[in-house]
């Protein structure tokens, strides 16, 4: 069937139905309009109207929910050719770029998926019983457009859209019935209502800049917020019946969806992107430094452990946001990781106190070399866990001798050398915020092993001295007066008690979920998220709190 895709492309182009040529993306017919609402929020705190392209992950998850894993797996080659999302402002959800490679890639995946379905009678029957016929009728294709198409477009298709699917099928049917079926699926899976999250048809409110989402737009926003995938039939039925128009109806669907495994998977992806778990350093230390630790796959294992820890706290342990910084629970699947932690492998094991929370995880501590880089560690915590805007300095504005790492000195620790290097000139203001956190974590080496002495290595990698490590610092977390910290354990405690850290967690979830940088008008929403997250079970509550906010039903007019 893949050999017919070129012919199919010609047919689609002739009909003017390729993705770039598809017609209106904002037809209001059958869209569940609601109107007359009095918006309870400031316009600037709302997502702008328009369209958000599905991320690479959202696209694949939506496809899998629509047609099943086996069908998508059969399109593995085409799926691999789809461009990865560039991470912007920390998250893939902020990248809405659409280029030729994306258009061609999604069209190729749609062709492979359509071919797989067309070639399998039982698969065709599972999607629509009448589709199992050797040559399905146009009435059958119309029914397919109304059922499968509703899931794909995340709303009922208009009469014109149903007719377009039938027309595409008929064009392919002139070749073979299989070509017709393939083209019908290519049409639906290449259309803007599938590839984009459209919020363009809402009704006017009493505020000229603010529009109420339609019931189906609301269902779509809810689904991608909680699942990172499209709405199922139950959610679409709730939208069509008007059940989502009430807060009670919305929260009933929210509770159902939050109990679905897809909610956990979606939260796991947030934790992975927030904590940069796909960027964990790959160990490249010498065998002598590794001392028997197997580095193969260690970065991936460490990242997986941290993701499992965070999702466990949210979904299993009734943890609060503070528990992300204080819990000693771990999921250690490999002997290498267990050796670094100093525990036996297992799920739900308890780590030593200095390993509490996120800061003591190997994923946060791994580095490629054998000498720690406290500045890099401090900057990571500042940016990701405290939402501090630490910018990379312009090299042209920094003296050359301050750009490079501090010079080797066998009589000084990394802390002493970095302090001398960064305390002078233009570097001082930023490093006053960065250094202390990194120094508090000097009790871990570049594999994340606990240490009390720092080996001083010369240019050949030979240990020429060992010096005691000082992890006592004063840290300003942004909550007022600086906090006295004596090492990783007390730093973890300080973060667990920090309002700034709690606010940052809420801020990062808002950014990830809404695909935008927050503004000052978002503060009431963020405060509501923090209040949810402060209670027992609060981490789960925070991750499911956005749909309960007053502004969730609205969007603002794009400028």
Residue 47 has what pLDDT? 64
pLDDT, position 556: 78
Q: Which two tokens stand for residue 78?
A: 């085409």
Please state, in angstroms and rounded to a whole number, the distance separating the CA atoms of residues 337 and 293. 8
Instruction: Give the CA radius of gyration of the chain.
Output: 27
Give the per-residue pLDDT at 210. Answer: 82
Give the pLDDT confidence score for residue 32 in this predicted structure.
55
Q: What is the 3-state secondary structure (H, E, C) of 143-183?
A: HHHHHHHHHHHCCCCCHHHHHHHHHHHHHHHCCCHHHHHHH
Q: Under the phi-then-psi rule, with left for phi > 0, alpha for psi from -120 to 50, and beta for the rest, what region is 480?
A: left
For 288, counting Cβ atoms within 10 Å of its Cβ (0-12 exposed, 13-18 middle, 19+ buried), the class is: exposed
Q: What is the pLDDT of residue 256?
A: 98
The SS3 of residue 119 is coil
Angle 210-232-538 from CA coordinates, rounded to 5°: 70
| pTM across the whole model | 0.91
Instruction: Quote the CA–CA distance of 462 and 88 in Å, as a whole number.
Output: 40
Q: Are the beta carbons of 513 and 521 closer than 8 angstroms?
A: no
Spell out the per-residue pLDDT of the chain, length 559, in tens.
Answer: 444 454 445 445 434 545 443 333 444 444 555 544 566 666 667 766 668 899 999 999 999 999 999 999 999 999 999 999 988 889 999 987 788 888 999 999 999 999 999 999 999 999 999 999 999 999 999 999 999 999 999 999 999 999 999 999 999 999 999 999 999 999 999 999 999 998 876 666 667 678 889 999 999 999 999 999 999 999 999 999 999 999 999 999 999 999 999 999 999 999 999 999 999 999 999 999 999 999 999 999 999 999 999 999 999 999 999 999 999 999 999 999 999 999 999 999 999 999 999 999 999 999 999 999 999 999 999 999 999 988 777 776 777 666 678 888 999 999 999 999 888 766 667 788 899 999 999 999 999 999 999 999 988 888 999 999 999 999 999 998 999 999 999 999 999 999 999 999 999 999 999 999 998 888 888 998 888 877 767 999 999 999 999 889 988 776 5
Whole-number pLDDT of residue 391: 76
Closest CA to 341 of 293, 377, 304: 293
Picking from 235, 203, 234, 233, the residue whose alpha carbon sits closest to that of residue 219 is 235
Q: Identify the CA nearest to 154 among candidates 212, 203, 220, 202.
A: 220
**pLDDT value at position 53?**
93
Helix then strand then coil, in percent of the chain rounded to 5, is: 55, 10, 35
């Amino acid at each position: 069937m893949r050999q017919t895709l070129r012919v199919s492309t010609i047919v689609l182009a002739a009909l003017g139905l390729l993705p770039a040529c598809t017609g209106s993306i904002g037809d209001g017919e059958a869209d569940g309009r609601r109107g007359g609402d009095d918006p309870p929020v400031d316009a600037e705190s709302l997502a702008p109207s328009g369209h958000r392209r599905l991320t690479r992950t959202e696209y694949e998850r939506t496809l899998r929910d629509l047609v099943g894993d086996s069908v998508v797996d059969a399109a593995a080659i085409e799926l691999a050719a789809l461009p990865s999302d560039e991470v912007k402002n920390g998250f893939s959800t902020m990248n809405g770029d659409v280029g030729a490679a994306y258009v061609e890639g999604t069209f190729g995946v749609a062709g492979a998926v359509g071919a797989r379905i067309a070639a399998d009678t039982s698969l065709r029957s599972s999607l629509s019983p009448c589709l199992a016929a050797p040559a399905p009728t146009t009435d059958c294709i119309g029914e397919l457009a109304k059922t499968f198409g509703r899931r794909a477009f995340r709303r009922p298709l208009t009469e014109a859209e149903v007719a377009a699917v039938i027309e595409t099928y008929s064009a392919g049917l002139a070749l073979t019935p299989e070509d017709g079926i393939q083209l019908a699926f290519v049409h639906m899976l290449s259309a803007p209502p599938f590839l984009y999250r459209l919020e363009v048809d809402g009704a006017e409110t009493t505020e000229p800049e603010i529009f109420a989402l339609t019931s189906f737009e609301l269902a779509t926003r809810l689904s991608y917020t909680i699942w990172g995938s499209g709405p199922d039939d139950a959610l679409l039925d709730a939208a069509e019946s008007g059940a989502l128009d009430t807060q009670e109806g919305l929260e009933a669907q929210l509770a159902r969806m939050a109990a679905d495994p897809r909610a956990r998977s979606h939260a796991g992806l947030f934790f992975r992107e927030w904590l940069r778990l796909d960027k964990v350093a790959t160990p490249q230390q010498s065998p002598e430094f590794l001392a028997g630790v197997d580095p193969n796959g260690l970065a991936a294992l460490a990242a997986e452990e941290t993701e499992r820890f965070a999702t466990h706290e949210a979904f299993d342990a009734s943890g609060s946001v503070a528990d992300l910084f204080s819990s000693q629970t771990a999921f250690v699947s490999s002997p290498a990781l267990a050796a670094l932690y100093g525990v036996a492998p297992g799920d739900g094991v308890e780590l030593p106190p200095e390993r509490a929370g996120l800061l003591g995880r190997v994923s946060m501590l791994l580095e490629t070399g054998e000498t720690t880089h406290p500045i890099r560690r401090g900057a990571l915590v500042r940016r990701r866990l405290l939402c501090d805007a630490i910018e990379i300095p312009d090299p042209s504005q920094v003296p050359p001798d301050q750009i490079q790492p501090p010079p080797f000195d066998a009589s000084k620790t990394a802390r002493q050398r970095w302090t001398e290097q960064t305390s002078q000139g233009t570097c001082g203001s930023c490093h006053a915020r960065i250094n202390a956190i990194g120094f508090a974590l000097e009790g871990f080496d570049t594999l994340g092993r606990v240490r009390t002495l720092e080996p001083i290595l010369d240019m050949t990698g030979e240990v020429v001295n060992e010096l005691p490590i000082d992890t006592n610092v004063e840290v300003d977390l942004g909550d007022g007066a600086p906090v006295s910290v004596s090492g990783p354990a007390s730093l973890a405690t300080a973060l667990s008690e920090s309002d700034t850290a709690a606010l940052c967690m809420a801020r990062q979830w808002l950014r990830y979920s809404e695909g935008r940088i927050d503004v000052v008008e978002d503060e009431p929403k963020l405060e509501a998220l923090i209040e949810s997250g402060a209670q027992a079970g609060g981490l789960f509550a925070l991750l499911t709190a956005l749909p309960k906010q007053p502004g969730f039903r609205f969007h603002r007019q794009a400028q």
